Amino acid sequence: MLFYEPLFLTVFPAFYALYLLARGTSARKWVLLVASTLFYLWGEPVFVLILVASTALDYPLSFHLSDPSPCSVRRLALAAGIVNNLGILFVYKYADFLANNFNWALSPFGAHRLPLLHLALPIGISFVVFEKITYLVDTYRGISKPAATFWDYCLFVLFFPKLLAGPILKYHEMRDQIAKPRTVEWSDFGFGFLRFSRGIGRKLLIADPLGTFVNSVFAADPASLDAGRAWLALASFTLQIYFDFAGYSDMAIGLARMLGFGLKENFDKPYISRSITEFWRRWHISLTTWIRDYLYKPLGGNREGEARTYLNLWICFLLSGLWHGASWNFVLWGAYNGLFLTLDRLFLRDALERCGPVIATIATLLIVMIGWAIFRSDSPAHLMTFLSALSGLTHATNASEIPAEVPFTLVLGAFISLLPATAFYPALIRAYDTNAWLRTLTVAALVVIYVLAIARAVTVPFQPFIYFRF
């Protein structure tokens, strides 16, 4: 169920009224838990049963993860919980990928082929698995105690605003909010609705028009593209993936705030970054902090010398690539980012800093865009031909007309993305903070954006959020 489809927009007001009218913490939590379960059940009626069964295994294990349980028992319980969750991810996401590669490797020898499972990938499975692991690890580390009740833990796992595409929540950051949801105030509704409006505008008025063009270009033979069309498609995808994913995060944060919950930010103006290191501090913040806290630091982080630090970075970003999808393109994308993070530590970040902010921002954005070409291509062969098209080395035959809305949307998206890098952006923020008329105008604009986005949602075929497949 999408946040902007008519069914959700029809049902949500009734649910919201029931949530506000519920008396007491327990009643509100039950209303929210039932609604969250039905929300996910609507799209994943089979997997929700597996998810609940896995959650039911996590919860009793969590009571053996801390004192007074012996250290050996704690480690065994943690290992069992992690295997339980990663096992689900492996079966649904990676089993066929590994079987395909195994079959390809053994095909010259006439070996028996491994059968493929052909399981549909449940929506948001990677987000859910990572969040469930945070619960186990946080308890093991003593950062937080096990959930007060099994239903509290279920609410953490199934909390519907973030369920499908994040942000990835850490249990210790949500424990108190889930244990005792606070009273919703008018300011929560106002902020939440306006944040939701910004998100739906980002998705439907910028990401989707660009996405239609991007899909048509990447579906074509890249050898038929000229350099101009290839770069236009790549620039469009660069903005599409940002406005699509950041738009979902806005909607999730907005809906959660309307319910009295505070979620952390997931994006911080990533395209104004002046190095790849800075970019990854600003892009998909919940994933990068998860990798830092639950993978990079346990591997040793930067505490065991330069060579080990570089190895740890590569491991983390190779696994980050695989987290995004079971495809060699995602592995290449992870390796590509690991390479530039290593180069940043060696010399690149200092070199870009000496070049000044404008050149550093342009160079970083160019590196990111080439990375997005790897991310968006269907296969390594498609990628190599597309990179040739970017270089002008292909024989262009694709002369189809570019939709009229693409140039305007591209300019608008670029302006919004790069505005924070300009010198007058701080003055604009100060004016907003001190000028009541400007704040009123902003509210009115967001309401108009909400109306326009809903109008587009009911008239134009929907495009799923890009990160739904992860």
Domain closes at, from 181, 206, 222: 181
Across 225-255, b (16+ Cβ under 10 Å) vs e yields bbeebbbbbbbbbbbbbbbbbbbbbbbbbbb
Per-residue pLDDT at 48: 84
Regarding whether 269 and 173 lie in a shared domain, the answer is no
Per-residue pLDDT at 403: 86
CB 173 within 8 A of CB 264: yes
Regarding whether 433 and 366 lie in a shared domain, the answer is yes
CA–CA dist 447, 190 (Å, integer): 11
CB 102 within 8 A of CB 114: yes
Per-residue pLDDT at 470: 67
| Residue 242, in any domain of the structure | yes
Regarding whether 200 and 170 lie in a shared domain, the answer is no
Regarding whether 255 and 140 lie in a shared domain, the answer is no
Phi, psi for 301 (deg, rounded to 5): 55, -130
| Residue 51, in any domain of the structure | yes
Q: Is 284 a catalytic residue?
A: no
Regarding whether 204 and 120 lie in a shared domain, the answer is no
Regarding whether 121 and 40 lie in a shared domain, the answer is yes
Regarding whether 112 and 247 lie in a shared domain, the answer is no
CA–CA dist 283, 33 (Å, integer): 30
| Residue 84, in any domain of the structure | yes
Per-residue pLDDT at 398: 65
Per-residue pLDDT at 165: 75
| Residue 135, in any domain of the structure | yes
Regarding whether 449 and 384 lie in a shared domain, the answer is yes
Regarding whether 237 and 371 lie in a shared domain, the answer is yes
Across 162-190, b (16+ Cβ under 10 Å) vs e yields bbbbbbbbbbbbbbebbeebeebeeebbe
Instruction: Report in angstroms the alpha-carbon separations of 377 from 222, 334, 387, 445.
Output: 10, 14, 10, 36
Instruction: Report in angstroms the alpha-carbon separations of 115 from 91, 121, 233.
Output: 13, 17, 37
Q: Whole domain around residue 91: which residue ranges?
A: 6-181
CB 166 within 8 A of CB 467: yes
| Residue 313, in any domain of the structure | no
- pLDDT of the chain, 470 residues: tens digit per residue: 678 777 888 889 999 999 999 888 889 999 999 999 988 888 778 888 888 899 999 999 999 998 788 899 999 999 999 999 999 999 988 888 888 888 888 777 776 778 888 887 788 888 899 999 999 999 999 998 999 899 999 999 999 998 877 799 999 889 889 988 888 889 999 999 999 999 999 999 999 999 999 999 998 888 888 889 999 999 999 999 999 999 999 999 999 999 999 999 999 999 999 999 999 999 999 999 999 999 999 988 888 888 888 899 889 999 999 888 888 899 999 999 999 999 999 999 999 999 999 999 999 999 999 999 999 998 899 999 999 999 988 777 766 788 889 999 999 999 999 999 988 899 888 888 888 899 999 999 999 999 999 888 888 877 778 877 66
| Residue 187, in any domain of the structure | no
Q: How many domains are there within the chain?
A: 2
Q: Which residue has the tokens 């099994």?
A: 150
Regarding whether 145 and 197 lie in a shared domain, the answer is no
Domain closes at, from 151, 181, 211: 181
Regarding whether 214 and 166 lie in a shared domain, the answer is no
Exactly one of 64, 112, 172, 324 is catalytic; name it.
324
Instruction: Report in angstroms the alpha-carbon separations of 228 from 272, 389, 446.
Output: 24, 9, 34
pTM of the model: 0.92
Domain closes at, from 159, 181, 203: 181
CB 327 within 8 A of CB 97: yes
| Residue 286, in any domain of the structure | no
Chain centroid to CA 307: how far? 30
Regarding whether 208 and 80 lie in a shared domain, the answer is no
| Residue 295, in any domain of the structure | no
CA–CA dist 173, 35 (Å, integer): 22
Per-residue pLDDT at 399: 66
Three-state DSSP string of the chain: CCCCCHHHHHHHHHHHHHHHHCCCHHHHHHHHHHHHHHHHHHHCCCHHHHHHHHHHHHHHHHCCCCCCCCHHHHHHHHHHHHHHHHHHHHHHHHHHHHHHHHHHHHHHHCCCCCCCCCCCCCCCHHHHHHHHHHHHHHHHHCCCCCCCCHHHHHHHHHCHHHHCCCCCCCHHHHHHHHHCCCCCCHHHHHHHHHHHHHHHHHHHHHHHHHHHHHHHHHHCCHHHCCHHHHHHHHHHHHHHHHHHHHHHHHHHHHHHHHCCCCCCCCCCCHHHCCCHHHHHHHCCHHHHHHHHHHHHCCCCCCCCCHHHHHHHHHHHHHHHHHHHCCCHHHHHHHHHHHHHHHHHHHHHHHHHHHHCHHHHHHHHHHHHHHHHHHHHCCCHHHHHHHHHHHCCCCCCCCCCCCCCHHHHHHHHHHHHHHHHHCCCHHHHHHHHHHCHHHHHHHHHHHHHHHHHHHHHHHHCCCCCCHHHHC
